[in-house]
Structure 1
Amino acid sequence: MNKSLPTLYGDFPLKLAPARAWRTYVGGKLIEELHGVADQDDNHFPEEWLMSIVSARNVGREHIVDEGLSKVDLPDIDVSLKSLINENAAEFLGESHFEKFGNNTGVLAKIIDSAERLTVQVHPNRDKAKELFNSAYGKTECWHIIGGREINGEPPYVYLGFKPGVTRELWESLFENQDIEGMLNCLHKYDVKPGDTFLIEGGTPHAIGSGCLLVEIQEPTDLTIRIEKVSPTGFEIDDFMCHQGIGFEKMFDCFNYDTYTQEETLEKWYVRPFVRTEVRDNREIELIGYQQTPYFKMTLVEVESEIDITNDGVFSGLYILSGSGSIGSEGYRQSFNIGDQFFIPAKVSGFTLRNEGDQPLKALRIFGPRITD
């Protein structure tokens, strides 16, 4: 017999409301369009956070304690995914995950739409995160480009990695002089297109360029070291937002000063997808996997008709990139449209995705860290 409503205790895929986060840069117009909202201007909410149990770190907004946190998308219910997991961690995350990582998902994903270049930045690796921030997680991340737009006639691009010849002394000098052109000249620049995927390990300098629409999957922190004191559009960045409380001297300890050529950088951090499973016209493509990093995994599901997915006792997130349809599990079926997202508890044994529209159905699956060593 069909059930009319899901429980909140891990029995069904749980629909989540969009969670936007304030940032120092502007964007977000293409995210609004994903949700069917036209004619919106870019603003300081250029990111939608997915499956998030992490609060955003923003100076002057510390009183907004739930900014960035995912909440359940059910009528008359105001409850965060974080609180549900805290109450039911083993059922939501799985016994094996809970034994190793506790009540932390160990992962965060975002949709990012940049109308301007982000400031040149770095995130700490796990060792530096522990040493400098007393955090169990750093912020290794991965970008998967899903779209974009030209900004002032320039196609989407990213900056990634130090060029040969860069030293800590040079990098600190460029910061002291706020020589932005010099900073950018130290990094490799790549034009990007939908389907491109890059791994950005903690310690690697980088900047998302203007015009990028991408999915970012990362370790679950908001630790960002910025070395520009003013954003490209003129927003003055607070000192804390630059060094995250550890001071200007220590923040340079977060960078890995290894250097690579343009070709070596691509070989090291450009990730090529592969088809993991294919049944008739339905398939699942691995975009980033545990062979590249133990911290997360992300796949793309393409559904022409219907596909059955086994959950294998692990939790995951689901984000609808295109199309419309329904998700069914244990006799309960929920409809969805582009831009909708779900949390799939570990307790759910499996689910079915059904394409019920006239457009290709594409959905991202987001996974936490590898459980086995």
Structure 2
Amino acid sequence: MIPVELPPNLITHFYRGGANIAALRRTSTDNAFQPEEWLAATVGRMGETGTGLSRLATGELLRDLVIADPGRWVGPDHGARPDAGDVGVLVKLLDAGQRLPVHVHPDRAFARSHLDCPYGKTEAWFVLDADAAADGAVYLGWNSDVDRADLDRARDEQDSDWMLARMNRIPVSRGDGILVPAGTAHAIGAGVFVAEAQEPTDFSILLEWSITTATRDESHLGLGFDRVMPAVSLQRMEPDEIAALTLITDLDARSAEPISLLPAPADPFFRLALVAPAGAPVAVDAGFTVALVLAGTGTARGTGAIELAAGGLYAVPHAFGDWTVTGEVSLLLGRPGVGWPRTLGDPGGATVASSR
């Protein structure tokens, strides 16, 4: 069983962007609001039928292929929810043509109790490019403890200045990896292009919607703000916490083994790695993988062989076996977390201590 190549899957969203994605994936955008591509996605947008799901060039849904043969796609554990085509991870390209709104994602405990889902939405950003002239920064957590009543007021009045003034603004550069624990207020600044790994859901609580095409009624997961605001951390994120959530990588490095792109606390949730052979083949363990060719050309060999070229995207099944990569290529790999899917049966199996 060999990897399947996937055509572009750009998503129309409530904020602007998309030019960097179109350039990488060698396609074009349909409008100014296509800032995301969902890569090898078997989960769709919340409340919408089909939006976000990846299709093969034949029109078949990748999710349907996984549902039909979960063992060969995700391995003998058959995933956490084989009937849903669960592969344990969602990877996106996100090209911020404007600053994203301040928002928060719930954790697994909240998702289990309120949304009937074993996944929350811890996520991570790996910066592919950042334009300092546009903003070139991300916003992560509060820089001081905030009062719930004050935050409720700022949300209701859409007081963006109040929220941003209380957040940690972090200038970023190509090669920066940052973990965003569930419950943490965050935003991405204009001019930042990232590969995003996340738990496979579309759960977002918007504290700020006025800079987007979204509405208040679309901002609280259908639960109302009184029920969702307990999912939002009010505590200051300390500098040492931010440091522990950050890893800097030379994206031009060559290596004899895959290079981890995210800090270790991300490992229970998902993994991102760079494969960039230094001459000899680089070995990759068997397992479902989202593989995006960032640059160059090469070959992936497992139970068969495929040729890799810049901009190509592949869903790699577990049944491809242990595989190797050769050539002058830079390949981004997204995979489920360590111990998945067993960690979903353990409420403490995937936590980020710094999310508090």
Q: Same fold (TM over 0.5)?
A: yes
Q: Which moved more, 1:205-214 or 1:314-323?
A: 314-323
**Matches of 2:24 and 2:9 in 1, distance apart?**
14
1:287-324 superposed Cα distances (whole Å, 9 cap, x missing partner): 12665441111111112445242434x22121111112
Cα deviation, residue 237, structure 1:
1.9
Please state if 1:204 is matched with 2:192: no
Match of 2:242 in 1: 266
Cα deviation, residue 111, structure 1:
0.7
Match of 1:172 in 2: 152
Please state if 1:184 is matched with 2:184: no
**Matches of 2:71 and 2:152 in 1, distance apart?**
46
Residue 270 and residue 248 in structure 1: after superposition, are their counterparts in 2 closer, same or farther (change >3 A)? same
Please state if 1:346 is matched with 2:346: no
Residue 339 and residue 361 in structure 1: after superposition, are their counterparts in 2 closer, same or farther (change >3 A)? same
The AA in structure 1 aligned to 2:334 is I
Structure 1 residue corresponding to 2:51, chosen from 67, 91, 102: 67
Match of 1:51 in 2: 40
Question: Structure 2: any 5+ residue segments left out of the alignment?
Answer: 344-356
**Matches of 1:348 and 1:173 in 2, distance apart?**
53
1:262-298 superposed Cα distances (whole Å, 9 cap, x missing partner): x2342242135599xx9x9644211126654411111
Question: Structure 1: any 5+ residue segments left out of the alignment?
Answer: 1-10
Match of 2:336 in 1: 368
SS for the counterpart of 1:334 is strand
For normalisation by structure 2, the TM-score amounts to: 0.87
Cα deviation, residue 35, structure 1:
2.7
The AA in structure 2 aligned to 1:363 is L
Residue 245 and residue 281 in structure 1: after superposition, are their counterparts in 2 closer, same or farther (change >3 A)? closer
The AA in structure 2 aligned to 1:189 is R
SS for the counterpart of 1:54 is coil
Residue 155 and residue 120 in structure 1: after superposition, are their counterparts in 2 closer, same or farther (change >3 A)? closer
Identity %: 27
Structure 2 residue corresponding to 1:148, chosen from 108, 125, 130: 130
Cα deviation, residue 42, structure 1:
6.6
Given that 2:120 and 2:203 are in contact with CA atoms closer than 8 Å, whether structure 1 keeps it comes out as: yes
Cα deviation, residue 353, structure 1:
2.3
Cα deviation, residue 114, structure 1:
0.5
Structure 1 residue corresponding to 2:87, chosen from 105, 115, 134: 105
Structure 2 residue corresponding to 1:81, chosen from 62, 69, 75: 62
Q: How does 1:202-351 map to 2 (within 5 A)?
A: 202-231=182-211, 235-261=212-238, 263-272=239-248, 282-288=256-262, 291-305=265-279, 307-312=281-286, 314-330=287-303, 332-351=304-323
1:170-201 superposed Cα distances (whole Å, 9 cap, x missing partner): 21121122211001111110110011111001
SS for the counterpart of 1:298 is strand
Q: Indicate the structure (1 or 2) with the bigger Cα radius of gyration.
A: 1
Match of 1:3 in 2: none
Structure 2 residue corresponding to 1:125, chosen from 82, 85, 107: 107
For normalisation by structure 1, the TM-score amounts to: 0.83
1:222-270 superposed Cα distances (whole Å, 9 cap, x missing partner): 1111112311xxx442233211201122221220122134x23422421
The AA in structure 2 aligned to 1:288 is L
SS for the counterpart of 2:319 is coil
The two structures, once aligned, show a CA RMSD in angstroms of 2.4
Number of corresponding residues: 338
**Matches of 1:236 and 1:50 in 2, distance apart?**
23
